[in-house]
Chain A
Amino acid sequence: MREDEVPQDADNSTYGGSRKLLYAQSGDGNFVGVKSAGWDVEAEATRMALELLERQCEQSWDRATRGVSAPLEYYMAYRRMDVALLAQTAGMARWRVRRHLRPRVFAKLPQRILARYAQALELPVEQLRTLPEAPLT
């Protein structure tokens, strides 16, 4: 990649307004650091991953609203976690986390278990019990 080939696709960038450093070749064959404002190919792959996370978030919000799953499932998705990661973060076995995602089990959870989830998800305990009006963004 030559210096002038470094992509500058700022419009669709997922860098949040900042630029990323890349190494490219200048005319004399040496390599120089060049700031890139974004590359559409990368941005699209990132957006695809983000859309997947967003969809999971909406679906679990929907399930929690209908009472099929507990709000915990929604907040797990909100923090972009899966069961395995939440289990590790909260120091809980996976099967227990999965069980706690059931609304009736979740409703009866003692404060100390909720506190562990709250800490893992960096959310207040009270918030865990309730769903927002719409999926948070």
Chain B
Amino acid sequence: MTGFEHRQSAHCESGVMSSLLTHHGLPTTEPMAFGLGAALAFAYVPFIKLSGMPLIGYRMPPRHIIRGLSKRLAIRMKTQTFRDADAGMATLDRLLDEGRVVGLQTSVYWLPYFPETMRFHFNAHNLIVYGREGGEYLVSDPVFEEPVRCDAAALKKARFAKGALAARGLLYYPTQVPATFDLERAARGAIRANDRYMTGAPLPVIGIRGIRYLGKTIRKLAANDSRRETYLPHYLSHIVRMQEEIGTGGAGFRFMYASFLRETANTIRSDLLAEAAELLAEAGDHWRMFALTSSKMCKGRRPLDGDELARQLNVCADQEAATWRLLQRF
């Protein structure tokens, strides 16, 4: 085996990339992978449905971190998808036999080591396979504390699950990793790119405008008598789930990006980045407040108040806007 070391992460894709790079001799923390991958985002996508509810993304779509990191750190990545599931499994086996550590995109539902309470049809999960033993795959699933195992049939099903964001067996691994890189330059590029996603998107549903848009949608639902009683609580709990549970959620991503800013600030000695980290961490706290309020309203411990929720989302939006205004000067 390859002496691979499992590390727990907050989010799957950044976790997988940080582990893969570290394994290939470029020690990278998870927040670094997330930040340099320019992965922070907000998007409200009503036409992609997860269990009948609109997709609300708090980060860039799957594979964005992989692509962004490869570009900014001059990493060569090999990525491959498959039409045929058996071919996809055979390629994985061959790579493992060569001693490679391989990243995979999978569904969550079909992974047997997930607890029943976490098994939803969500296709954009990422994990690492680092070996085979007795018909089972040795899996480093970044959101778990310890390495796990998965049988071949289940892994195949998980890799080739259909539906929104289907992985089509995606596997990836670095073929060339530099020993060092220029952090200041990479961070500048990543922050500038990320600023565009958050403040410069041409659509009102993306970035900071998207956060306000979501608030407006909630206000409208609350004013609609036929939607208010049953649909709205489910809608709110869906937002909270997308925010807190899937991956690591909206607030979690804010803290992770803040951590990236702080780590970069420490290394290149930038007071501006350190200040931006504080601002964004505060935005994360506001998101958590919003989740708390939504949860209380769902459970009827507070009257349903669309205006109040929209107001809290606007506070999140204002705070993030302030962060990016500052980062634009970096």
Contact = CB atoms under 8 A, between A and B. Distances in A.
B137 interface: no
B51 A88 contact: no
Interface in A71-103: 79-82, 84-85, 88-89
| Contact-residue size bin, chain A (C-beta under 8 Å from the other chain) | 35 or more
A24 interface: yes
Contacts of A59: none
Contacts of A122: 110, 157
B190 interface: no
A31 B240 CA distance: 23
Interface in B250-288: 251-252, 255-256, 258-259, 262-263, 266, 274, 277-278, 281, 284-285, 288
Contact of A16 (B30, B118, B285, B292): B118
Contact of A85 (B121, B240, B255, B259): B121
Binding site of A, secondary structure by majority: helix, strand, loop or mixed?
A: mixed
B314 to A, nearest CB: 20
A75 to B, nearest CB: 14
Interface stretch (A40-48, A61-69, A107-115, A123-131): A40-48
Contacts of B157: 122
Interface in B222-274: 233-234, 237-238, 240-241, 244-245, 248-249, 251-252, 255-256, 258-259, 262-263, 266, 274
A106 interface: no
A85 B163 contact: yes
Contacts of A15: 115, 117-118
A41 B240 contact: yes
A105 interface: no
A46 B301 CA distance: 18
A56 to B, nearest CB: 10
Given A20-B10, A23-B259, A80 B120 contact: yes
B119 interface: yes
B86 interface: no
Nearest to A48: B237
A49 B238 contact: yes
Contacts of B298: 44-45, 48
A31 B274 CA distance: 11
Contacts of A29: 262, 274, 277-278
Contacts of A21: 8-10, 143, 248
Residue with the highest number of chain B CB atoms closer than 10 Å, among A18, A20, A23, A45 = A23
B162 interface: yes
Nearest to A119: B157
Interface in B107-137: 109-110, 114-121
B51 A82 contact: yes
B55 to A, nearest CB: 14
B306 interface: no
A85 B30 CA distance: 33
A101 to B, nearest CB: 17
Given A1-B255, A44-B237, A85-B163, A20 B248 contact: yes
Interface string B280-315: 010011001001100100110000000000000000
Contacts of B162: 85, 88-89
A7 B99 CA distance: 39
Contact of A30 (B30, B118, B145, B266): B266
B295 to A, nearest CB: 4
Contacts of A52: 234
Nearest to A7: B288
Nearest to B29: A33
B177 to A, nearest CB: 23
6 contacts: A22-B252, A29-B274, A41-B244, A42-B244, A42-B245, A45-B244
Interface of B: 8-10, 30-31, 49, 51-52, 109-110, 114-121, 143-145, 157, 161-163, 166, 233-234, 237-238, 240-241, 244-245, 248-249, 251-252, 255-256, 258-259, 262-263, 266, 274, 277-278, 281, 284-285, 288, 291-292, 295, 298-299
Interface of A: 1, 14-25, 29-31, 33, 35, 39-42, 44-50, 52, 79-82, 84-85, 88-89, 122
